[in-house]
Amino acid sequence: MINQDISHLFKQMAIFLEMMDVPFKPAAYEKAAGEIEALDRDLRDIYQEGGLKALNAVPTVGESMAEKIEEFIKIGQIKELERLKKKFPVEVEELYRVEGLGPKTIKLLWQKLRIKNLHDLEAAAKAGKIAVIPHLGEKTEQNILRGLEFLRQTGNRKILGYILPLARQIEERFRKLPGVSHAVIAGSLRRRQETIGDIDLLVTTTKPKMAQETFVKMPEVIAVYAEGVGRSSVRLNNGMDADIRILPPESFGAALQYFTGDKQHNIELRKIAIQKGFKLSEYGLFRGRRRLAGKTEEEIYKKLGMDWMPPELRTASGEIAAAIKHTLPTLLPYGAVRGDLQVQTNWTDGAASLEKMTEAAMTAGLDYIAITDHTKTLAMTGGLDEKGLARQGKAIDKINAQIAAGKFGGEKSGAKSAGRKNFRVLKSAEVNILKDGSLDIQNSALKKLDVVSAAVHTNFKMRREEMTKRIIKALQNPYLNILFHPTGRLINQRPPYEIDIDAVIVAAKKNNVALELDCFPDRTDLKDEHVRKAVDAGVKIVIDTDAHSPDHLRYIELGEATARRGWAVEKDVLNALPLPKLLAYFRKKR
């Protein structure tokens, strides 16, 4: 799909336009970039079906943007963007990844020091050249150096949610080939890790040459590193490397186990094999030259005296001991989440209306959603005050009445409510946690909501003790049900704020507040290790998409994957409950 390309170009447009002090447009391009990144249909297909009109119908994509997408489809570039690049020959997107480095600062660094890229930036910061620039100073210079170090630590790994559609497309492409019996993406993708280094495709087929040629000629391939019937390696146009391994059927299970990993899990497994007098490799489990197992993963694990375990658990974090003792948990099933409890609309910073988000949730098969638009102190989103929440509540009541009467939605939307009369839109809000830990909405308004959630959106740089105290005070609010994205991190973009997560988990348990697993691809907050701590402490988890448009609702699967990596079972996840039980749970606190 070209969606990723267009998304990157629109992000660049947003940065350049803000550098030039153009009003309104930067935010519009930034929002459109996120929407396009989330689409599960190729923009080329949308254009071929309906031209400019169809592109303009994509949420947040205006007429001018649609024309630019058309231009890229036809000539492979956006002329206006190329003109901006000539005016500011700067790698804006890579510089923008440095925490705290906004468009205005990027422009200033270009004007004063001719900084074009990360290499120039680091050299200038280490030489003390940024500290002497008016309006920047030593503090900015030190923040830049910390931001550069963070980028080094995160590396060039890609975020799971943005790579998974491509991986599935490749799997499906090979499963349709004549002679193929297995085609599976292994590695960190199969384990559903939050970031992915490369793509490993395992294939068994009676026509290996066809599979190999198909792989190196895929439309995403920009370079071929190595080419052979058993294994080929390529570079993809998204910057990732990919390998194919073509295997005999008798070794497929062993290879799938080996290439799923992770490394430490495989080391522990090989140690157990050696203790039993076996040898384990990607070709099978052997005693001497005799192959004992290899066709399936299940027979490998069984021969080693343990239960098969879900790929998400294979991190040498206790799963092997549990598999030997037959005490592995029955993980939260995919598809178990019944409703999304963080959904934004165009009442604040969402891309779609209440009605459109409701239609999308019904079409997606959910049983309920909570509308969680931002509140008043987050002015940049047009946050709602107490009166605004009351007005929105009346609009939600109207939608629920239409659903109950079977009169909501229509044939075109796919959300005709005649058979979904029990679907419910919940009144909620993403209340802002102020610097002192109080909430920015009065309790008299909070108690009228079906569910109350809150999050930190400002003052991220507080010291660990202060931030922890701030959040714990918020957890003590008698109406709070859920703490949203508890650590504030953005994967590959922003580290978590300083916080004692163990103390927060204890306070959440004491105050009967659930912790959210925000599964928007670049958040995954809580991350898996924190999910496991919460589960072990008996704190409930809520899996939400943080949806700002209808297409974002599909990210629930990513949250379920993270919950599984954190050893969560169905009873640990509040919104795996049917609506009556969920509401009863929240009412207990009231």
* Identity of residue 331: L
Collapsed DSSP state (helix, strand, coil) of residue 57? coil
Whole-angstrom Cα distance, residue 432 to residue 438? 9
Whole-angstrom Cα distance, residue 73 to residue 77? 8
Nearest 10 degrees: CA dihedral of 362, 364, 368, 369? Answer: -100
Beta bridge partners of 494: 490
Please identify which residue in the block is written with the tokens 């930036």: 121
- Cβ burial of 48 (10 Å; 0-12, 13-18, 19+) is exposed
Under the banding of pLDDT at 50, 70 and 90, the label for residue 146 is confident
Under the banding of pLDDT at 50, 70 and 90, the label for residue 149 is confident
Q: How do residues 225-239 score in pLDDT, each as one tens digit?
A: 999 888 999 999 888
Range with the lowest mean pLDDT among 311-315, 476-480, 492-496? 492-496
State residue 418's pLDDT score. Answer: 57
Q: Mean per-residue pLDDT for 503-521?
A: 97
Average pLDDT of the chain to the nearest whole number: 92
Query: What share of the chain in percent tops pLDDT 70?
Result: 98
Under the banding of pLDDT at 50, 70 and 90, the label for residue 582 is very high
State residue 38's pLDDT score. Answer: 74
- Between the CA of residue 256 and those of 188, 282, 307, what are the distances in Å? 12, 8, 16
Q: How do residues 201-217 score in pLDDT, each as one tens digit?
A: 999 999 999 999 999 99
Q: How do residues 150-204 score in pLDDT, each as one tens digit?
A: 888 776 788 999 899 999 999 999 999 999 999 999 999 999 999 999 999 999 9
Question: Looking at the predicted structure, is the pLDDT value of residue 419 above 90?
Answer: no
Range with the lowest mean pLDDT among 42-46, 380-384, 475-479? 380-384
Whole-angstrom Cα distance, residue 115 to residue 118? 8
State residue 180's pLDDT score. Answer: 95
Task: With beta carbons less than 8 A apart as the criterion, state whether 577 and 585 touch.
Answer: yes
State residue 452's pLDDT score. Answer: 97
Question: Looking at the predicted structure, is the pLDDT value of residue 561 above 80?
Answer: yes
State residue 157's pLDDT score. Answer: 85
Question: Looking at the predicted structure, is the pLDDT value of residue 24 above 90?
Answer: no
State residue 358's pLDDT score. Answer: 96
Beta-strand relationship, 541-544 and 514-518: parallel
- Domains along the chain with CATH numbers: 3-154 (1.10.150.110), 159-325 (3.30.460.10), 339-589 (3.20.20.140)
State residue 563's pLDDT score. Answer: 98
State residue 204's pLDDT score. Answer: 95
State residue 415's pLDDT score. Answer: 57
Question: Looking at the predicted structure, is the pLDDT value of residue 68 above 60?
Answer: yes
State residue 470's pLDDT score. Answer: 98
State residue 380's pLDDT score. Answer: 76
State residue 410's pLDDT score. Answer: 57
Q: Mean per-residue pLDDT for 363-377?
A: 96
Q: How crowded is residue 382: how many other Cβ atoms within 10 Å of its Cβ?
A: 14
Question: What pTM does this model have?
Answer: 0.86
Q: Mean per-residue pLDDT for 487-515?
A: 94
Under the banding of pLDDT at 50, 70 and 90, the label for residue 224 is very high
Q: Mean per-residue pLDDT for 263-285?
A: 95
Please identify which residue in the block is written with the tokens 């610097």: 435
Q: How do residues 380-416 score in pLDDT, each as one tens digit?
A: 778 999 999 999 999 999 999 999 999 887 555 555 5
Under the banding of pLDDT at 50, 70 and 90, the label for residue 294 is very high
Q: Mean per-residue pLDDT for 65-74?
A: 93
Q: Mean per-residue pLDDT for 1-10?
A: 85
